[in-house]
Amino acid sequence: MENTKEFRTWLDDMQLDHPLVIAGPCSAETEEQVLKIAHELKNTDATVFRAGVWKPRTRPGGFEGIGAIALPWLQRVKKETGMLIAVEVANLAHVKLALAADIDILWLGARTTVNPFAVQEIADALNGTDKIVLVKNPINPDLALWLGGVERLHTANIKKLGVIHRGFSSYKKTKYRNVPQWQLPIALKQKFPDLPIINDPSHICGNRTGIQEISQIALDLNFEGLMIETHITPDEAWSDAAQQITPARLVEIMEDLKVREPKAEGETLDQLTGLRAEIDVIDNHILDTLSERMKVVDQIGVIKKSENISILQDDRWAAILASVKKEGVVRGLSEAFVESVFKSIHQESINHQKTIVNEK
């Protein structure tokens, strides 16, 4: 994609001394609620006020947003506070109403990004607009699908483009509502370094306690901004109550976050700092994967104990080692390195199963 620098240029022109902060409630509930939150956010680092007007829900019957009636409330926010305003759009009707209300920033939600037909409809409706348009990652960890959404908008001559990293669904229960899968936004940043990435710690965590930690990781990876759900009375929110924070808590988080500065000047050191932060995230991902592998190893150990099967299966181990060495070479790794790593993994697996088999 060419000419993807306009949103980054816009960010530079803002001359902020902190990352871009997009804050506001998960859902616009009442005019009073929207305006009260906005006026409290005016005195924080938040530059953009967000509020869900249309809320997609997996099952019918849940709160699906106030709808277009809330758009004039957002206009009042802009007039009274000077903040920019942002909403999620999911179809042609939403786009038309948002443009008529002069919304500054529109974003496509994760459920929309996963549908190329919906993305194309929105791209056609926004053709040539000078609005900022952000694309959340799809619910499933598919980098091509995420980039496809951006490319459709870019093809529609939309220049102020960025993406939002909100994590990915997983069939396994984890401490996250949506697993960060940091390697995917990292890969996106490597492929399109001029495409700004906004991190959404609220949807990654699913609870307010982890927001600062996730935000710091995002800043360590040189993400350009944060989208944090904020409410005056979070526990009473009509949707996603657990993951929203108060404006006062937002101030505390922003004060505690560290925008990393290199100890020495120079472009080379800047590049190294960013790459080292990426390595830290990848290392954590490796550890998570190894932990998952050992859980499966333990299950195999239980079966071997139950059926009185020997721990070491020579043929199986030989096949694994031959396969990973071959695949390692394809990925640019030496056979000696891969063999060394997997022999250590295999030994740890044997140790796990010995413990299980010998338990009385």
- pLDDT tens readout for residues 170-199: 888 889 999 999 999 999 988 898 999 999
Identify the pLDDT of residue 265: 64
What pLDDT is recorded for position 57?
76
277 and 220 together in one domain? no
**pLDDT tens for the chain, residues 1 to 360:** 666 789 989 988 888 888 999 999 999 999 999 999 999 999 999 999 999 999 887 778 788 899 999 999 999 999 999 999 999 999 999 999 999 999 999 999 999 999 999 999 999 999 989 999 999 999 999 999 999 999 999 999 999 999 999 999 988 888 999 999 999 999 998 889 899 999 999 999 999 999 999 999 999 998 999 999 999 999 999 999 999 999 999 999 999 998 866 455 677 777 888 888 889 999 988 999 999 999 999 999 999 999 999 998 899 999 999 999 999 999 999 999 999 999 999 999 999 999 999 987
Whole-number Å distance between alpha carbons of 163 and 67: 24
Last residue of a domain, one of 215, 237, 256: 256
pLDDT digits (tens, 9 = 90+) for 295-354: 999 999 999 999 999 998 899 999 999 999 999 999 999 999 999 999 999 999 999 999
Are residues 166 and 250 both part of a single domain? yes
- Give pLDDT, residue 2: 67
Residue 262 lies in a domain: no
First to last CA, the chain: 62
Does 227 lie in the same domain as 296? Answer: no
Domain boundary among 236, 256, 276: 256
Structural domain of residue 332, as residue ranges? 267-357
Partnered with residue 229 across adjacent β-strands are 24
**Is 194 domain-assigned?**
yes
Q: Tell me, yes or no, whether 118 lies in a domain.
A: yes
- The answer to whether residue 84 sits within a structural domain is yes
Q: Note whether 191 and 318 are same-domain residues.
A: no
Domain co-membership, 212 together with 304: no
In a domain, 169, yes or no: yes
* pLDDT score for 264: 55
Residue 49 forms beta bridges with which residues? Answer: 23, 85
**279 and 251, same structural domain?**
no
35: number of Cβ within 10 Å:
16
Indicate which CATH number applies to the domain containing 240. Answer: 3.20.20.70
For residue 262, what pLDDT is reported?
47
Q: Is residue 248 part of a domain?
A: yes
In a domain, 43, yes or no: yes
Looking at the fold, whether 176 and 314 belong to one and the same domain comes out as no
Are 240 and 204 a contacting pair, CB within 8 Å? no
Kindly state whether residues 194 and 303 are assigned to the same domain. Answer: no
Final residue in a domain of this structure, among 256, 291, 315: 256
CA distance 188 to 198: 12
Beta strands in the chain (DSSP E): 20-24, 48-50, 84-88, 105-108, 132-136, 161-165, 197-199, 225-229
Assess contact for 173 and 146: CB atoms under 8 A: no
The whole-angstrom separation of Cα 263 and Cα 301 is 49
Same-domain status, 134 and 187: yes
SS3 88: strand
Distances (CA, A) of 50 to 20, 88, 168: 13, 9, 21
For 155-165, give one letter per residue: b (16+ CB within 10 A) or e: ebebbbbbbbb
Q: Are 89 and 121 in contact (CB under 8 A)?
A: no
Tell me the β-bridge partners of 312.
Answer: none
Q: How far apart are CA 115 and CA 113, in angstroms?
A: 5
Say yes or no: 146 and 226 in one domain.
yes
Q: Are residues 245 and 281 in the same domain?
A: no
Any idea what the CATH number is for the domain that residue 297 is in?
Answer: 1.20.59.10
Q: Are residues 158 and 276 in the same domain?
A: no
Domain count across the chain: 2
